[in-house]
Amino acid sequence: MSSYFTDLAQQYIDGEWRPGTGSWDIIDFNPYDGEKLASITIATVDEIDEAYQAAARAQMEWAATNPYARRAVFEKALRLIEERQQEITEVITAEIGGTLVKAGFELHLAKEFLREAIHLSLRPEGRIIPSPIDGKENRVYRVPVGVVGVISPFNFPLLLSIKSVAPALALGNGVVLKPHQNTPVTGGTLVAKIFEDAGLPKGLLNVVVTDIAEVGDAFLEHPIPKVISFTGSDKVGRHVATVTASHFKRSVLELGGNSAIVVLDDADIDYAVDAAVFSRYVHQGQVCMAANRVLVDRSVADEFTEKFVAKVKSLKVGDPRDPQTVIGPVINSSQADALSATVAQAVADGATALVRGEATDNLVSPSVLTGLRADSPLLRQEVFGPVAFLIPVDGEEEAVRIVNDTPYGLSGAVHTADIERGVNFAKRIDTGMFHVNDGTVHDEPIVPFGGEKSSGVGRLNGDTMLDSFTTLKWISVQHGRSGFPF
C-alpha cells in the first residue's frame, strides 16, 4: 500500500504536517475490499481558524510576487505529478475505487488544469477608463480576492481540488482546502504534498480534514475567505449558498446533474450506443455529468436498446486494479444501498429491468430500466450510480420537453447525422453545457464549465477563473487640481 496513506494522514496547516486536535478520527477505507487505509484525527474550529489566518498572512507577499515567479510553482507541480503518476494512480484506485481507465482520465485532466494555471498566472490585466472630469485618470486593477475556501467532492477529488486550488493560487490568492471525508488523501493532503514539494510558500495552501459534525459552518462563516468554491450535491450547495450570501461572500457552486443523451432518428446507432454507455457508466456513474436518462427516437429504439443492453452486459465488474474492469465499487455502503433501493422502487412502480444489477458489498453491477411512468420522480433526480433509464420518444419536440423536465441543467448530448440539427436541438435545452455527437462527460481547461437551475451558480475554467477568484479595484488619479462645490 502506498506510503501516502501513512505519511499524509494528517492536517496541513501553515506549512506543517500535524495531527488534528478533535476528539475522534476519520477512518479512510478502501471501498473495494474494506481495507483500512488511514486514520486521521479531525480538525477543530480552532484549526480552521489557524488555517485561514495562515493563508491570509502568506497571501499578501504571494500577491506581490512577480507572476512569472509564481508560475514556476505550477510548472514544478506538473512535473511532480508526471513523475509520480504510478503512485498517484494507486492512491486513486485504493481510496476512490476508481478503475485504471478512470485514474488515467483524472490524471490527464489534472495535468491539463495545471498547464492552464501556468498561463493563468499572467492573465490578469488592468484598464484605463475615460473620465468626464478633466485631468482625471481612472485605473481599474484586477486583484486577488485574498483567501479562497475550497470544498471538494469524492468522485474526482484530485482533479476537482486542483481545478479550484491551482487557479486561485495562480491568481495570487491563499487557499484553505477541505476535502471530502471519504477521500482525504487524494482530494486533500496529496494536493498539499504536491504543492509543498513544488516550492509553494508555507502557509499559502492549507488542508483541513474534518466533518460538519465537529465544525458546523465554521469553514463557511469564517471572516477571512472572500470566496467559497464548492463542488458537490445541490442539497449541500443550497446550504453553502445561503450561508455565504448571509456573510456577503461570493460562492462558486458546481452541483449535481440529471443529464440526458438523446438519440435522434438519423443517428449512427453503434456510435450512439458507445457514447451512451460511457456517459452513464464511467466511474460507476458517480459523475455529475453522467447521462442518467437515455432518450431514443421510437423509430430506432429497438435496434438501439438491443445493442445498448448487450454492451452493458459485457462490462466487467470487479477489482478496480484489474485493467479489464470497467465497473468498480461505489464509494460506500450507503451509496450501494441507495442504488439498490432506487432500482427496487422503479420496478415496484412498473418499470421493466432489461438488466438488473446486483450489489455485493460496494460493488453494484449495472442496471438498465425502461417503461418508467412519465411522472416518476426518478426521472427528475440525480442517480449517482450505474443505473440507466431508457426512454423512447416520438420526435424532437417530445425529446426537448422531457430533457428539460428536471430541476437540473448541467450537461447533455444529442446524436444526429445533421450537425446543425443537433446544434439547434442543443440551443433549446436549458443546460450550461451540451454536446453534439459525443458523450455527456467532458471538461476542458479553457471552456466555461458550469450549470443552470439546480446544477450550480457561476463558471470555472479559462477566463471565468478571473471572475471567480479575482475582484476589480478602481483607483482614480486627479492630475492638477479638482474643483469642489464648497
Q: What is the mean pLDDT of residues 258-272?
A: 98
- Residue 449 is classified by DSSP as B
Q: Does the residue 341 lie in any domain?
A: yes
Check pLDDT > 70 for residue 302: yes
Spatial contact of 22 and 10, defined as CB atoms under 8 Å apart:
no
Residues 376 and 464 in one domain: no
Q: What is the mean pLDDT of residues 46-50?
A: 98
Q: What is the reported pLDDT for 291?
A: 97
Domain count, the chain: 2
What count of other Cβ atoms lies within 10 Å of the Cβ of residue 292?
26
Residues 251 and 263 in one domain: no
CA torsion, points 156, 160, 163, 169, in degrees to nearest 10?
Answer: -130
Residues 251 and 344 in one domain: no
Domain with residue 350: its CATH number is: 3.40.309.10
Residues 241 and 269 in one domain: no
Residues 467 and 427 in one domain: no
Q: What is the reported pLDDT for 340?
A: 95
Q: Which residues are catalytic?
A: 254, 288
Q: Does the residue 446 lie in any domain?
A: no
If you average pLDDT over every residue of the chain, what do you get? 97
C-alpha span between 185 and 446 (Å, rounded): 27
Residues 72 and 199 in one domain: yes
Q: What is the reported pLDDT for 108?
A: 97
What count of other Cβ atoms lies within 10 Å of the Cβ of residue 373?
12
Residues 231 and 92 in one domain: yes
* Residue 15: burial class (beta carbons within 10 Å; 0-12, 13-18, 19+): middle
Confidence of residue 454 (pLDDT cuts 50, 70, 90): very high
Q: 271 lies in which domain range?
A: 259-436
Q: What is the reported pLDDT for 154?
A: 96
Distances (CA, A) of 411 to 256, 279, 303, 401, 459: 10, 11, 25, 15, 13
Residues 202 and 134 in one domain: yes
Residues 293 and 224 in one domain: no
C-alpha span between 365 and 284 (Å, rounded): 9
Spatial contact of 156 and 124, defined as CB atoms under 8 Å apart:
no
- Residues 6 or more apart whose CB falls under 8 angstroms from that of 295 comprise 260, 261, 262, 263, 391, 392, 393, 399, 402, 403
C-alpha span between 324 and 461 (Å, rounded): 32
Whole-model pTM? 0.96
Q: What is the reported pLDDT for 237?
A: 97
Residue-wise pLDDT tens digits, 176-187:
999 999 999 999
C-alpha span between 3 and 374 (Å, rounded): 51
Q: What is the mean pLDDT of residues 152-162?
A: 97
Classify each residue of 244-270 as buried b or exposed e, where b means 16 or more C-beta atoms within 10 Å of its C-beta: beeeebbbbbbbbbbbbbbbbeebebe
Q: What is the mean pLDDT of residues 322-330?
A: 97
Residue-wise pLDDT tens digits, 88-133:
999 999 999 999 999 999 999 999 999 999 999 999 999 999 999 9
Q: Does the residue 480 lie in any domain?
A: no
Residues 31 and 128 in one domain: yes
The C-alpha cell that represents 96 in the structure block: 476512490
- Residue 377 is classified by DSSP as G
Q: Does the residue 419 lie in any domain?
A: yes
Domain with residue 222: its CATH number is: 3.40.605.10
Residues 243 and 322 in one domain: no
Q: Does the residue 193 lie in any domain?
A: yes
Q: Does the residue 479 lie in any domain?
A: no
Residue-wise pLDDT tens digits, 181-230:
999 999 999 999 999 999 999 999 999 999 999 999 999 999 999 999 99
Q: What is the reported pLDDT for 1?
A: 53
- Residue 319 is classified by DSSP as -
Q: Does the residue 447 lie in any domain?
A: no
Confidence of residue 483 (pLDDT cuts 50, 70, 90): confident
Q: Does the residue 208 lie in any domain?
A: yes
Residues 212 and 357 in one domain: no
Check pLDDT > 80 for residue 2: no
Tell me phi and psi for residue 384, to 5 degrees: -95, 70
Beta strands in 222-271 (DSSP E): 227-231, 250-254, 259-263
Check pLDDT > 90 for residue 407: yes
Q: What is the mean pLDDT of residues 2-6?
A: 88
Residue-wise pLDDT tens digits, 333-355:
999 999 999 999 999 999 999 99
C-alpha span between 351 and 423 (Å, rounded): 32
Q: What is the reported pLDDT for 317?
A: 97
Place of cell 438519423: 266
Distances (CA, A) of 309 to 264, 359, 373, 439: 18, 19, 20, 17
Confidence of residue 66 (pLDDT cuts 50, 70, 90): very high
Query: What are 205's strand-pairing partners?
Result: 175
